[in-house]
Chains A and B, each alone.
Chain A
C-alpha cells in the first residue's frame, strides 16, 4: 500500500497510509464535536481534507476566487524582532517593515504594535506609537490597525502592583486570588480603553486586541468590557483575537452579559465578542503536538466551521505557530501552513485569517 508523507503536530515528518490519514481526520473532527458539542465534518469535507493531505504537492492553496482577507497580529515584529516573535532581526525599522508587508508581501491589512505587544508597556510609549501610526497613514494604502494584547499577567507581582493569583491559589487563598484578579482586570480595562483612544486619535483604521484571555477569564472580561466601551462611544472597529480554544477559569465566577466566561469554546466566545461590538473575531484552536497535522487540522476546522456558521461578523481564524492546525515549532514548514490556511477557508468557511 502506498504511503503519504505528512507531519505531526510538532512538525516531525511522519509516514501514514491513506486509511490512517482518514481515520485521523475523522477522529480529529469528532474530538472537536465532542468537546464543543458541535457538528462533526461531513463526508465530503473529510474527502477534501484527505485529498489535500494525500497530495505530494509541497504547497496547497484555496481555489481561485475563494481568497480571503489577512489581518496580522504581532505587527512587523516578525521582521525586526528576535525569536521571541519568530523574528529574523532584519536591519529595518518598524515603518519600513510595515511598508514591506504592504508591497513586497502584498498583505491585505497591516498593523503597528509595540515590540513587547502588551498594553501595559505600550501605554508608556503612546506618543511614539501614535507618531508611527500617523506617519504610516501618510504613505500606506492598506487598512492599518494598532495591535496589542491585554496580557493581564503583567499586572500581577512582581511585574505589577496586584497580588499574584498563581501564588495565592496554591495556598488555598481563593477569595484573595479572585479579588486580585478583579482589581487587576479593572486596571487592564482602563489601560486598553486609554490606549485605544490614543490610537483612534492617531487615525488608525482599526484596533486589534490580540491573544485575548491568555491569562484566563479575567483577561477576557477586561477585553470585552474595553471593546464595549470603545465601540459604543467611538464606533471604531475592534478585532478580538483569542489566545487559546477554551477560556481558562482562573477566577471561575466572572460573567459578561450574564454568561460565565470560564470554559467557553470558540463559538460561544464569538457571541460575547459580537455583544461587545467587535467588528472581527479571531478564534483559536490549539495544536496537539502528539497528534498528526491531519488530526489537528480536522479538529481546528470543525471548531471554526461552528463559529462561522453562527457569526454575524467576519471571522479571521488564527493560524499561527501552534494553532489552527499549524505545527508547534519555531520555523513553520510551508507544506503544513498552506494546508491549514486553505482548509480554514474552504472547510472552516473563514472570512479571513
Chain B
C-alpha cells in the first residue's frame, strides 16, 4: 500500500477500496492471492468454497453472519467464536490451503 498517517492513508484506502479483512472475506481472498491467484480467480475460489456470490464477499452484513456460522473468526469480540489460530485451522480446511502456523501446530500436537 504505502506509508502515510493512519487516518489519512491506511484508513482512507481501507474505506475507499479494500475488501474489509475479517469484517468480510478480505483475509480469505488475500490467502488465495498468496498462491499467485489474480483477484477475480481468488474471489471466485473463496466464493465457491463459502457458497456465496462474489459480490457477497465484500458485504459485511452477509459475511458477519456467515463467518460466525462457519466459525472462522469475526471482527467483533464474541465469546465462544474461534479466535486466532483456532480460526485458521478451520480456514485452512475450508479453503484447501496450507497455513504455516497451522502446520506447526499439527507438528507440535503429533509429538
Interface size class, chain A? 35 or more
B18 → chain A closest CB, angstroms: 4
Contact flags B4-38 to A (C-beta < 8 A → 1, else 0): 11111111111111111111101101110111111
Q: How many residues in B have their beta carbons less than 8 Å from beta carbons of A?
A: 54
Question: What chain A residues lie within 8 Å of B37 (beta carbons)?
Answer: 314
Q: Which of A139, A312, A344 contacts B36 (CB 8 A)?
A: A312
A105 → chain B closest CB, angstroms: 6
Q: Is B66 an interface residue (CB 8 A)?
A: no
Classify the secondary structure of A's interface with B.
Answer: loop
Q: Say yes or no: A70 contacts B13, CB within 8 Å.
A: yes
Q: Which of B6, B14, B27, B39 contacts A142 (CB 8 A)?
A: B27
Q: Say yes or no: B16 contacts A137, CB within 8 Å.
A: no
Q: Which of A193-219 contact B (CB under 8 A)?
A: 200, 203-206
Q: Is A279 an interface residue (CB 8 A)?
A: yes
Q: Say yes or no: B36 contacts A341, CB within 8 Å.
A: no
Q: Say yes or no: B58 contacts A280, CB within 8 Å.
A: no
Q: Assuming A69-B18, A73-B3, A106-B14, what are 10 further A-B pairs, CB within 8 angstroms?
A: A61-B16, A78-B9, A86-B3, A86-B5, A108-B30, A141-B22, A142-B21, A142-B27, A203-B100, A337-B8
Q: List 23 A-B contacts (CB under 8 A).
A: A67-B17, A68-B18, A70-B17, A70-B18, A70-B21, A73-B1, A103-B22, A106-B75, A108-B27, A108-B30, A109-B27, A109-B30, A134-B101, A139-B85, A143-B34, A205-B100, A279-B33, A324-B2, A333-B8, A337-B4, A337-B9, A338-B12, A341-B17
